[in-house]
Amino acid sequence: RIKAIESPNKDDDTQWLTYWVVYGVFSIAEFFSDIFLSWFPFYYMLKCGFLLWCMAPSPSNGAEFLYHRIIRPFFLKHEAQLDNVVKDLKDKA
């Protein structure tokens, strides 16, 4: 999905692809931290608010903000390594 966002052909799918990339990264992080975070009061309300902020159709869209500030720089820095891992997995499959 990141490759589709970074492609030169920009259609209307960019907003939702950005949201799903951010949601995927959030889900992976939550998988490892959920056992600790679930003990905090209002955690599930804050999580719901965070996801609503990420999908809000507004100029201050959370998914776009997080993607451009955190995920995209990390991806661009490690793009070649990630491509090699994906290629190796395809070859093994």
Range of the domain at 34: 10-92
The predicted pLDDT at position 73 comes to: 94
- Three-state DSSP class for residue 78: coil
As a whole number of angstroms, the distance between CA 5 and CA 19 comes to 11
Digitized pLDDT (tens) for each residue of the chain, 93 residues in all: 667 667 776 655 777 788 899 999 999 999 999 888 888 899 999 999 999 999 888 877 899 999 999 999 999 999 899 899 999 999 998
In a domain, residue 87? The reply is yes
In a domain, residue 43? The reply is yes
Residue 56 CB coordination number (10 Å): 14
Give φ, ψ of 86 to 5 degrees: -65, -40
- Three-state DSSP class for residue 58: coil
**What's the total number of domains in the chain?**
1
As a whole number of angstroms, the distance between CA 12 and CA 17 comes to 9
In a domain, residue 64? The reply is yes
